[in-house]
Amino acid sequence: MKAVAVLLLVMCHLAVSHAWKCRAAPQLPTIVQIDAGQGKVVARDASYSVYMLCGTTWFKLGSPRLKHVTVGPGGIWGADTSNRVYKYVNGQFRVASGLYMQQVDAGGDGQIVGTTYNYYGYCLRSYLAAAFTGTGSLSWTYSSIYLRYYSCGPLYGCWAVDTSFRIWFTKKMVPTSCGISSWKRISGAAKMVEVGTDGTVFVVTRGGHVFQRTGITSGRPQGTRWTKIKMCLPIHHLSYDQSRLWVVSKGGIVMQCTQ
C-alpha cells in the first residue's frame, strides 16, 4: 500500500507544481476519516475501527465501532454507528448518555460541537466536556439547525456545512456557555469543513477538490476568498494541525502536506 502511495505521489509531483508539497504518510488500510489536533492524529477505517498515529505506526484505540472520531483541546471524542457519543478516558472509550450525534468535533477551546442524526447543531460546554469521566448524562446546548458537518477552532470561530452543502461561519464561540453570534453565509459549497487550532480553514467539495480560506485575521475572521489547493488525487477527508495538512484520498491513501 505504501509503495503504491509513493508511486502515485511521485507521478503527481512530476505532473503539477504548487505551494503545497505532499508525501506519503503512514498508511492505514481502508481509512475513511482522519482528524488532527494538539499534535495527535486519529482516524477510523471502513470497519469503523479507530486508530491513533504514534510515530509511524497506527495503534487501535478501544473497541467501539465509531463512524467519526475527533481529537483536540477537548480530548478525544467520537460517534458510533448508532449515533451514541463517546469520550476516550483513561485508555478506553466511555459512552456518554444524552444526545445522539452523527459527527462531533473537539477542535474548539475546550467545547465539543457536533450534529445530531437529524442534522441539528449542538455544543457541549467546555467544563462539562472536561468533567466527563464516563458516568452520567451530558447536557448539550442547541446552536443551529440542519448542519451536516460542524467544526470549531479556539481562535476565530466555527464553520459548518448545511444539508444543502452551503458553507456557514459564526464568530468566536464562548466555550463555557457555547454562546455564538449569528451565522453568516459564506460563498461556495462543500461536503465538509475543518478548522485548525491556528484558525486555518479548509473544505472538501463533493467532487474531491480542496480549498483553503485565505485572508483570515482577528479583524476579519471569516476571511476573504477560497484558494484551491491542487491535488492529483480526489480527496475524501482532511484535517489540519501544527502546519500539517492530513488528507485521505478517495482511494484510501493517506498524505501529509506542508507549504
Reported as a single tens digit per residue, the pLDDT across 62-99 is 889 999 999 999 999 999 999 999 999 999 999 999 99
pLDDT higher than threshold 70 for residue 2: no
Confidence of residue 113 (pLDDT cuts 50, 70, 90): very high
pLDDT higher than threshold 80 for residue 55: yes
The number of CA neighbours under 13 Å toward the Cβ of 185 is 7
| CA 249 – CA 30 distance, rounded (Å) | 11
Reported as a single tens digit per residue, the pLDDT across 7-32 is 555 455 434 445 899 999 999 999 99
3-class DSSP string for 101-155: EEEEECCCCCCEEEEECCCCEEEECHHHHHHCCCCCECCCEEEECCEEEEEEECC
Instruction: Report DSSP state, residue 218.
Output: S
What is the average per-residue pLDDT within 176-199?
A: 95
Q: How far is CA 154 from CA 13, 21, 37, 181, in A?
A: 34, 26, 11, 15
Reported as a single tens digit per residue, the pLDDT across 205-241 is 999 999 999 999 999 999 999 999 999 899 999 999 9
Q: Could you please state the CATH topology (level 3) that the domain comprising 29-258 is classified under.
A: Methylamine Dehydrogenase; Chain H (2.130.10)
In the block, cell 446552536 appears at 143
In the block, cell 486519529 appears at 42
Q: Output phi, psi for 95, to 5 deg.
A: -75, 140
